[in-house]
Amino acid sequence: MSTSESATSSKRWPAIRFNVNGEARIVKVPAMKRLLDVLREDLHLTGTKEGCGEGECGSCSVRMNGELVNSCLVPVLQAEGADIQTVEGLALDGELHPLQEAFLCHGGAQCGICTPGMLMAAAQLLDQSPHPDMAEIREALAGNLCRCTGFMRIFESVAAAVDAQSASPATRLTTEQMHHAR
């Protein structure tokens, strides 16, 4: 674990501590700063995208304490002490997450702006429900908009990741467990 401090820190602001992708981080920024902006500007984790900036499109989805959230709607003070996972935290030790592999193999990404949010929403689904049917996949991704009209391939990519999971003998593991098991 390393601790890094925001380059834009100011003595005026309180120190806010949280973990991002397993790493302890401290930022000194205004408490109302959006988690999205802290991730991108202060921590330089630019995988998380801003789409609409009003919680409608899901591009900025990250996981906070095991729940999917739109990081554009989280004032960073409310992330104090939280465990946050961004798209940068999906691949482990240079190996893609099964969802990322499935998106690559099945054309799940076109322009790519929605992709990090789609991946995080799908990862959340697989942790809650390891064997979702298509209806569950659609519901889980209903808050993530793709403007390249790529929804079918995205749904198919998630279904393929579910199938890949089921095909292996180490089934019924969550995506997190799958990762650690590999």
Q: Which is nearer to other proteins, 30 or 176 (CB)?
A: 30
Between CA 112 and CA 83 the distance in angstroms is 25
Tell me the three state secondary structure of residue 116. helix
Minimum CB separation of residue 39 from other proteins in Å reads 14
**To the nearest 10°, the Cα dihedral for 80, 43, 71, 18?**
-20
The residues of the shown chain that bind other proteins, judged by CB under 8 A, are 29-34, 37, 53-56, 58, 61, 67-70, 72-75, 77-78, 80, 121, 124-125, 139-140, 142-144
Q: Which CB sits closer to other proteins, 34 or 153?
A: 34
Decide if 25 contacts 83 (C-beta within 8 A).
no
DSSP state of 41: I
Choose between 45 and 121: whose C-beta lies nearer to other proteins: 121
Structure tokens at 44: 């330089």
Minimum distance, C-beta of residue 91 to other proteins, in the bound complex (Å): 22
Nearest residue (CB) to other proteins, 20 versus 120: 120
- Could you tell me the smallest distance in angstroms from the CB atom of residue 93 to other proteins? 28
For residues 71 and 44, the answer to whether their CB atoms sit within 8 Å is no
Q: How near is the Cβ of 81 to other proteins at its closest, in Å?
A: 8
